């Protein structure tokens, strides 16, 4: 140890020239440079580039997924739009169908009602006619009985020549009618 220290201090007194090319230093520095290249590659570039690559892949993946989701959403949207359009068309056709049916039904109802009204009217007319006939007949009967009553009363009463004549004429007219 002591010897080494002495040797060190003795050697340390020696210096190399200021501007000189020392072959060994030259060679060792080249080797040092390549060792440094290897070390910097191994400890800085390799891990960092791996991380950058990973991050790039991750970003790519996210973008790819986002694009996929977008495409899916687009296709869903178009699907919805299609179904919505068909639903609209269906609804329209249903409505028009219903309208048509309703119209038909209404028409039918109106027609039936008209028919019914017509039949009712016809019946009413017939009834009225019958009633009229019946009334006339009843009146005739009434008149006959009235005439009989009047005749009876007239017979009881004193009739003059003129009344007599007139009565006979009326009677004849009535019977003739």
Partner 1 sequence: MSQSFEVDYAKIYWTIKTGIPVLGDLNITETLIVSWIVMIIITGLCIFLTRDLKVENISKRQAFAEMLVETGNNFVRNNTGGTKFDKLIPFVSALFATSVVSNLISLVGLRSPTADLSTEAGWAVVVFIMITATKIKTNGFGGYLKGFTTPIAVMTPFNILSELATPVSMACRHFGNILSGVVIDGLIYWALGLASAALFGLIPGAVGQFLSKIPILGIGLPAVTGVYFDWFSGCMQAFIFCMLTVMYIANAAEEG
Residues that bind partner 1 (CB under 8 A): 7-8, 11-12, 14-30, 32-33, 35-37, 39-41, 43-45, 47-52, 54-55, 58
The nearer residue to partner 1, 24 or 161, going by C-beta atoms, is: 24
Residues ≥6 apart with Cβ < 8 Å to 16: 22
Distance in Å, CB of 49 to partner 1, minimum: 7
How many whole angstroms separate alpha carbon 45 and alpha carbon 58? Answer: 19
**3-state class (DSSP) for residue 26:** helix
The nearer residue to partner 1, 52 or 139, going by C-beta atoms, is: 52
The nearer residue to partner 1, 18 or 175, going by C-beta atoms, is: 18
How many whole angstroms separate alpha carbon 30 and alpha carbon 174? Answer: 164
Distance in Å, CB of 85 to partner 1, minimum: 44
How many whole angstroms separate alpha carbon 175 and alpha carbon 170? Answer: 8
The nearer residue to partner 1, 20 or 160, going by C-beta atoms, is: 20
Distance in Å, CB of 46 to partner 1, minimum: 9
CB 171 within 8 A of CB 163: no
């Amino acid at each position: 140890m002591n010897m080494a220290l002495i040797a060190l201090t003795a050697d340390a007194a020696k210096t190399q020239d200021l501007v000189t090319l020392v072959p060994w230093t030259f060679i060792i520095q080249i080797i040092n440079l390549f060792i440094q290249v290897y070390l910097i590659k191994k400890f800085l570039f390799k891990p960092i580039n791996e991380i950058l690559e990973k991050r790039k892949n991750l970003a790519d993946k996210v973008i790819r997924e986002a694009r996929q989701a977008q495409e899916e959403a687009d296709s869903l949207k178009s699907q919805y739009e299609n179904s919505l359009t068909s639903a609209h068309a269906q609804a329209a056709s249903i409505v028009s169908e219903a309208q048509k049916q309703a119209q038909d039904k209404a028409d039918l109802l109106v027609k039936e009602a008209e028919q019914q009204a017509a039949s009712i009217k016809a019946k009413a007319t017939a009834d009225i006619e019958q009633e009229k006939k019946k009334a006339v007949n009843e009146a005739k009967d009434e008149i006959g009985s009235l005439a009989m009553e009047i005749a009876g009363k007239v017979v009881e009463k004193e009739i003059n020549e003129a009344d007599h004549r007139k009565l006979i004429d009326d009677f004849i007219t009535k019977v003739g009618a």
